[in-house]
Chains A and B, each alone.
Chain A
Amino acid sequence: MSFTQKEIIKQILEWQSKKEDEVRELKKMTNYFLENDRTKKAREVAFSDELSELRNQFSSFFSTHSKGEQ
């Protein structure tokens, strides 16, 4: 399949727009849920040494853990 320059630029712009939509939607959805004690405790467990092997099998799923909590 061949693309003209114009089509490629359009594709990139659309892709960028979709990514921004995705991030915006995730932030919005995350803010909908109130954090509670169970959430905090579970997060500590998720970053325990015991689960390090499983954590390494995911690329960005664990990457947003704030540096201050590590």
Chain B
Amino acid sequence: MKIVDVEELHNLEYDGPLYLVLDKTKQNESDPRACGCASLALLNSILFLKEKMNIQDGQTIYGEMRRIQKLTKEEKNAVLPENMLSFIEKHSVFNSCRLLVMNPNGMLADVFFKIFLRRLTEGSVALVMMEIPAKKNDRARNVLNHVSFVHSKDGEVYFDGLRVTLDFLLRAFYFSTPTTLMIFALNNRGQDEK
């Protein structure tokens, strides 16, 4: 595994500020998405939330990435959940949001969808701790090995910057039972789920 440098990040869908996790140098390997996934998910979340909340703190993208890598102790691109959560606790952008934690497998599907889809349409973002199979058709081991960034824009849903369908998200969310969504909701609406 290697550190994904800011200079290597490319944005295939927008002018900014979102980035794909996909690392071109690992496309022929079994799991090209597991490169610096936590760092990129955090970076994308921060940039997206800043845009949504109109936060202009003068911090550059490069600076944000370096801060993430330092505070998550990402020497080997192996960010542990506790390091990631510790970073979220300390970062002012995340502190400006309300946090909702959900596991689709532990909820009634209609309740999950109502909350998840409504949050997406309201501009919330989700960090999803999940399992991605190492090889095609591998069965779930119930071991979380990936963090992805999910958001919605203009009626489309994106997973790590990749425009996805319901079928993809269902398979991903329900593949492994420990899948956990951390939804960061903007505070400006000031109301809870109806």
Q: Are B168 and A26 in contact (CB under 8 A)?
A: yes
Q: With contacts defined as CB atoms under 8 Å apart, how many contacts are there between chain A and chain B in the complex?
A: 112
Q: With a CB–CB cut-off of 8 A, which chain A residues contact B1?
A: none
Q: Are B104 and A51 in contact (CB under 8 A)?
A: no
Interface residues on A, range: 20 to 34
Q: Which residue of A lies closest to B10 (CB)?
A: A18
Given A46-B109, A61-B157, A34 and B175 contact (CB-CB distance below 8 Å): yes
Report how many residues on chain B are interfacial, defined by Cβ distance under 8 Å: 40
Q: Is B77 an interface residue (CB 8 A)?
A: no
How near does chain B come to A32, taking the closest CB pair, in angstroms? 5
| Residues of B147-177 whose CB lies within 8 A of A | 152, 154-157, 162-168, 170-175
* Chain A residues touching B, majority SS: helix
Taking beta carbons and an 8 Å cutoff, which residues of A are in contact with B? Answer: 18, 21-22, 25-26, 29-36, 38-39, 41-43, 45-46, 48, 50-51, 54-55, 57-65
Q: Are B166 and A33 in contact (CB under 8 A)?
A: no
Given A38-B174, A58-B156, A30 and B117 contact (CB-CB distance below 8 Å): no
Q: Are B163 and A22 in contact (CB under 8 A)?
A: yes
Given A46-B113, A46-B170, A61-B157, A26 and B105 contact (CB-CB distance below 8 Å): no
Q: Are B157 and A58 in contact (CB under 8 A)?
A: yes
Q: Which of A39, A50, A62 has a CB less than 8 Å from the CB of B174?
A: A39
Q: With a CB–CB cut-off of 8 A, which chain A residues contact B114?
A: 51, 54
Q: With a CB–CB cut-off of 8 A, which chain B residues contact A26?
A: 162-165, 168
Q: Is B137 an interface residue (CB 8 A)?
A: yes
Q: Are B156 and A60 in contact (CB under 8 A)?
A: yes
Q: Are A42 and B117 in contact (CB under 8 A)?
A: no
Q: A42-B112, A65-B166 are in contact. List 13 more A-B contacts (CB 8 A).
A: A25-B162, A32-B135, A33-B168, A34-B133, A46-B113, A48-B110, A51-B110, A54-B114, A54-B117, A57-B121, A58-B117, A58-B121, A61-B157
Q: Is B139 an interface residue (CB 8 A)?
A: yes
